[in-house]
Structure 1
Amino acid sequence: MSAGHACVDVYQGAVAALVPFLVSERAYGYAAASGIVLAASLLSSVVQPLFGVLSDRRPMPWLIPLGTAAAGAGVALVGADAGYPATVAAVALSGLGVAAYHPAAARLVRTALGGAGHTAMSWFALGGNIGFACAPLLVFGALSVPGAAGWWLLALPAALGVLLGRPAPASRRPGGPAAGSPGGAAPGAAPGPEDRRAFARLSLVVIVRSVAFTGLSTFIALYVRERGGGDTAGTVALFALFAGSAGGTLLGARLASRWGRVATVHRAYAAAAPAIAGILFLPLPLVYGCAALAAAALYVPLSLQVTLGQDYLPSRMGTASGVTLGLTVSVGGVASPLIGAAADAASLGTALLPLAVLPLLAWALVRRLPEPVTARPEEAEAETAPAG
């Protein structure tokens, strides 16, 4: 499941990695290029929670390979260069595939794998981080191949992901959840009470985090290039951003076992603000380190927020997964055109300044989140210290 997740999320990273190419080779402005990111994300913001609701009613493991195939085909079709509307439609298809994949896959990880908690979810999320990190290198290598062949090379991870996701064997293991188990509750576990107010607050936190990270991933390569780094430096900065996210995901599970999930998320957002400010104000060689630190701080909460959402809505895990994962990959894309428009009107550096403040808003929202009382056995071992 982790490897299959990498094969899907490489296409989320690929859309951001294509932005400098679209600006330089197809003469798109900042707003138009960020509109491409919006197209990949907008469907997810609406459709992914709906896929989550459907997976609560009836498990649909076949969405895992189907979503993977659509994600890869959409990015590969960008190479057809049939005009801006066709490019938007292609990345929208990729976004739809991503939306279909995540709720079904996250539900499978949390339920069919024996009620796995935040450690298993962190390994699943790590696969997605690896896919993100590899995306700039994949795009750079594929576009170095002349002609349509390079674009179709971008579809290779999807082909591998379909093979990995097609059998969905965990859903048929002895002791796995029955197809009709309510909300995909873990075997032998009765769903606990819902905390909708906490889930709503958590959703706001996820929205703020999404805007901060997606804004960085969309524009950091262009920002580094504007500061005199060149195309190679921009690619390295984007790779550093995505690579830092992988370490942050695994670190989140370890810290949560020591501090509790809510306290870990709270402290991570406090660390993210100065790291993002470093990207914007420190000299260029230090930007790479700040990019890795910022991504790590923003990704420490990722898998923890998914399991928190599932525990706030224990009888609707698919819905919780669709909202937390869907908002993570989509809302930031909706905000990207606003950042692009501000960059066109003023400067890219000015447009990115609010991204350093957003983690502080997330920090303030997390302070009042409760640690769920329905934590899984491995999570119950964590100390539930107050977030402050």
Structure 2
Amino acid sequence: MPRNKSIILMSVGHACVDVYQGAVASLIPFFVAERAYTYAAASGIVLAASLLSSVAQPLFGALTDRWALLWLLPVSTILGGLGIALSGLSGSYALTLAFVAVSGIGVAAYHPESARVARLASQGSHSMMGWFSLGGNIGFAVAPLMVTAVIATGGLRLSPLLVVPALVGSALCLPVLRALDNPTHAGSSAAAPTETDDKLSFVKLSLAVVCRSIAFIGLSTFISFYAQQRTGGGTAAGTAALFVLYLGGAVGSVLGGSLADRWGRITVVRGSYLITVAAVAGVVFVPGPAIYLFVALTSVGLYVPFSLQVTLGQDYLPTRVGTASGITLGLTVSIGGLVSPLIGSVADATSLRTALTPLILMPALSWLLFRTLPEPTAPKPVAAAQQTGDNTDGEPSPAQRNHR
């Protein structure tokens, strides 16, 4: 299968999964309106989606380092959609948390293997990985529109309709999986591991990813409420802010890959985080419609590093690509959810502005960590026979073991 076609299908499939991560934050205002949840209770739903996911993604990554689990992509896509689809059916807070947690597990299972497959299909191109990440960003951006269109029409009882993207995404990934499962698949220019892990750099990278995650998830959880307060608008004003936050990520992902091909990943990420510090400050302190401009700048700034951090993690841990993907790609959308209840509690006790102000520090900390990181050596191409044949240590490759 041609590289461009594979990446397009993978990108659309990524959108169909990440729409459910965006759907969690998008459902919060409706849970508050219909069930009278407090800020802390509402942010607990985000926690439910994030807690299991943050733990499970590295575990799924470790499994994909040992075996090629291509079947995880369609199965996890369905699981992610099913949890969100069921979350609106029960008035029970415990059941709502459970269903959202199921969706989080599905998302966790998808990302490590999809990142590994996308890196193979992209043949190591930063730009192609940017397009793969774009799909996830589009899924985030579409989520508030999809949720509002469905739930605002008939309430939370219509949530089962939200399973449709999962059905589409699981079907679209099948042609790519069939091509990759073929032992004669031409992936001759995928990267070969250097067999040398830079664990210290990977730890620093992971800490930077955590800081980025706290900033993004914190904003995505509460930006709808905050935009309504700062603009004096209603639900539409909040939905628009969330849409801008997610849509800007689509621009940032593609821009990041293109800039990295010219300037290098580390340089681009450093500059992006530095700009984001000022952008988040604008979101928190600038009143009126100008908040939308700063939300857009924040989104672009936080997403320029998105795909670059994934490939950096894979290059820092070339012998554990699945684990690296599970941590860098997974933590960006999970760890931040663990902090959301704390932000919600502070907001309940003081104000949203007070609770969101510490988020300004997060991209600054990411920038400081990236100041200490080196640009890893680019992996060298290998022959197709090495990818579908034996590893350098004489053991069958994960793809072979799975095929057998």
TM-score (norm 2): 0.88
Aligned with residue 278 of structure 2, among 268, 274, 278? 274
Matches within 5 A, 1:255-294: 255-294=259-298
Residue 135 of structure 2: aligned partner: 127
Deviations 1:105-164 (A, max 9, x none): 1100112x2632322211110000000000000000011332676312211101101111
Can you give the 5+ residue segments of structure 1 that lack an aligned partner in the other structure? 178-184, 378-388
The runs of at least 4 consecutive aligned structure 1 residues that moved more than 6 Å come to: none
Instruction: Return the alpha-carbon distance in structure 1 between the equivalents of residues 376 and 34 of structure 2.
Output: 50
Matching residue within 12, 15, 19 for 2:28: 19
State the shift of 1:189 in Å: 2.8
Identify unmatched segments of 5+ residues in structure 2.
1-9, 382-404
Give the aligned CA root-mean-square deviation in angstroms: 1.6
Aligned residues of 1:252 and 1:301 also touching (Cα < 8 A): yes
1:136 corresponds to which of 144, 162, 178: 144
- 1:299 aligned residue (293, 300, 303): 303
1:313 and 2:317 are equivalent in the alignment:
yes
Residues in 2 aligned to 1:194 and 1:123: alpha-carbon distance in whole angstroms: 27
Structure 2 counterpart of 1:252, which letter? G
Aligned to 1:104: 113
Matched residue of 1:307: which SS? helix
What pairs with 1:1-388 in structure 2 (closer than 5 Å)? 1-111=10-120, 113=121, 115-146=123-154, 150-167=158-175, 168-173=177-182, 174-175=184-185, 187=190, 189-227=192-230, 228-375=232-379
Opposite residue 115 of structure 2, the aligned amino acid is A
1:190 & 1:354 partners in 2: Cα distance?
A: 39
Taking a change above 3 Å as real, the CA distance of residues 326 and 188 of structure 1, as seen in their structure-2 partners, is closer
**TM-score normalised by length of structure 1:** 0.92
Retained in 1: the 8 A contact 2:122–2:128?
no
- Code of the aligned partner of 1:9: D
Please say if residues 110 and 186 of structure 1, whose CA atoms lie closer than 8 Å, have aligned partners that are also in contact. no
- Whether the 8 Å contact between 1:117 and 1:307 is mirrored in structure 2 is no
Question: Is the partner of 1:155 in helix, strand or coil?
Answer: helix
Which moved further from structure 2: 12-21 or 278-287? Answer: 278-287
Shift of 1:176: 5.0
- What's the secondary structure of 1:82's corresponding residue? coil
> Sequence identity, in percent?
56
Contact 1:170 1:176 in 2 (8 A): no
Cα deviation code 1:227-275 (max 9, x no counterpart): 3221110000000100100000001011111210001010000010111
Distance change (3 Å), C-alpha of 1:147 and 1:269: closer
Alpha-carbon offset, residue 226 of structure 1: 2.5
Superposed displacement of residue 197, structure 1: 0.5
Shift in Å, 1:324: 0.5
Aligned residue pairs total 369
Shift of 1:335: 0.5
- Residue 396 of structure 2: aligned partner: none
Confirm or deny: 8 A CA contact 1:142 1:150 kept in the other structure.
Answer: yes
Q: Give the Cα separation in 2 of the matches to 1:82 and 1:243.
A: 31
- Contact kept, 8 Å, 1:114 with 1:176, in 2: the verdict is no
SS of the residue 1:85 aligns to: helix
